Amino acid sequence: MDTKKFQESMYKLIVETSTKLPRDVCSVINVAKQKESAGTRSKMSLATILANVKMAAREASPICQDTGLPTFKIKTPVNVNQLLMKEAIKKAIALATKDGKLRPNSVDSITGVNSRDNIGIGTPVVKVEQWEKDYIDARLILKGGGCENQNIQYSLPCELEGIGHAGRDLDGIRKCIMHSVYQAQGQGCSAGFLGVGIGGDCALGYDLAKEQFFRLVDDINPDENLCKVEEYVMEHANKLGIGTMGFGGETTLLGCKIGVMNRIPASFFVSIAYNCWALRRLGVRVHSETGEIIDWIYQTGDEIDLKTEAKKDKAAIAEIASDVIRLQTPITEEKIRSLKVGDVVEISGLVYTGRDAVYKHLTDYDAPIDLRGQVIYHCGPIMLKDEEGKWQVKAAGPTTSIREEPYQGDVMKKCGIRAVIGKGGMGPKTLAAFEEYGGVYLNAIGGAAQYYAECIKSVEGVDLIEFGIPEAMWHLEVEGFTAVVTMDSHGNSLHEDLKRSSLEKLADFQERVF
């Protein structure tokens, strides 16, 4: 095989997967948008998501800044050198990272050092199996950390909050899947997709679950029993009312696919992989001798659904934004305390990114800059330097905030921070700090990395760059950055309200169905 051509083919696959959403995924998101009522946060969120997808395709930039752990599933003829194939994939990954199509996400688990090129022990993931056909089938999925953290594995039998006893049968599997939707809430960028693996051991179950994401959204499971469970989940999980981004609404789940394998008598695992709305998976058929792409396995949706819906998306965003509250940083305590849950805000001025490494640093050391009255953005952007050596933002959506729960309240008190932008909400410690010191949580639209990158007018500086690009503290000048107040300074949390109401609704599904 011509390994240079194969490397070029893998580079094309990486770029397309990062920047274009498959047609079937675009279609189901568009259908979900039509179901939401006009003027709601959920309608605005889905319209923003579709606008973001179109922007990413147009600019050939990542749909979401968290390009996750690249995972390849490859089938190859017997006579192809798999060692050379894997080496070509690594080179393609490194080049795509250098070009800003992937975020440098490979971090040494012991030292915390970022490899800066996505190459390291275990990264990228390349799983190869042989088959009798004469071409190579190469598929790639980019699954971000926010949704990866919502994966869950059940060992049957078990007792589940809200839905009761789950036994070792089809009905127990049903209960596990419904519970998994409840426990994820709006985190992991809902509305999302579920891949379910029944059986196997702990590792094989998760592998089978993730493999389900390569199925088309509208396919039909050939196993009659599993087909019934898939249909049941899609009908009833959306009745939990969690909605897009956890704002409430008609759509919490966009797809559910189930696979099964044998198990040993002592173990009965139900492994559930959660994927955000940005189900970034594509595939190619590659000539086994020339290494060139023969054709694409999935079609992208950037030129199909989105053109006809673009004006409607803008209208949906504008409709909810008509009551927007404009904030200029730094923000006073008085202004913050005037905000309440449900308010839509637009932020202009300087904001500062901060996530895991920054929060640990701020806990132990003084802040590198004055953060009094300022806004911290939970974000790990993709950044590149231009020809003049200036930093440019390639993608900059929010990261999941709950990871910072142990730090947020203390850092807020120490540094005088007034607002936090992120996704998925935070917990009781942070809510108490908001009430005591005067702060709010602003929920941005998860995955909308191009939509928010367009709001960033310049990069004014960077601190703590030694932590790596995703973990550094970037100083960003923003204009018209839109988010929704979901936790305020009066003890109110939309996330807790929805968690309670969805738990009550989950109880409606306790009775045996299968």
Q: Please give the structure tokens belonging to residue 156.
A: 């049957």
Output the pLDDT for position 450: 96
Residue 435 structural domain: 323-495
Q: Are residues 287 and 299 in the same domain?
A: yes
End-to-end CA distance of the chain: 51
Output the pLDDT for position 322: 58
Q: Are residues 10 and 104 in the same domain?
A: yes
Q: Are residues 254 and 305 in the same domain?
A: no
Q: Please give the structure tokens belonging to residue 175.
A: 């209960």
The answer to the question of residue 513 being in a domain is no
pTM for this predicted structure: 0.91
Q: Are residues 250 and 206 in the same domain?
A: yes
Output the pLDDT for position 323: 79
Output the pLDDT for position 39: 84
Q: What is the DSSP string of 337-390?
A: HT--TT-EEEEEEEEEE--HHHHHHHHHS--SS--TT-EEE----EEEE-TTS-
Output the pLDDT for position 38: 87
Q: Are residues 295 and 357 in the same domain?
A: no
Q: Are residues 333 and 480 in the same domain?
A: yes
Q: Please give the structure tokens belonging to residue 461.
A: 């500086």
The answer to the question of residue 504 being in a domain is no
The total domain count for the chain is: 3
CA 121 to chain centre: 23
Q: Please give the structure tokens belonging to residue 200.
A: 């196997």
Q: Are residues 353 and 242 in the same domain?
A: no
For residue 278, the tally of other CB atoms under 10 A from its CB is: 29
The answer to the question of residue 353 being in a domain is yes
State which amino acid sits at residue 226.
L
Residue 434's CATH number: 3.20.130.10
The answer to the question of residue 12 being in a domain is yes
Ranges of the chain with pLDDT below 70: 302-322
Output the pLDDT for position 302: 58
Output the pLDDT for position 309: 53
CB-CB contact of 33 with 308 (8 Å): no
Render pLDDT for 70-129 as a digit per residue (tens, 0 to 9).
999 999 999 999 999 999 999 999 999 999 999 999 999 999 999 999 999 999 999 999
Q: Are residues 222 and 105 in the same domain?
A: no
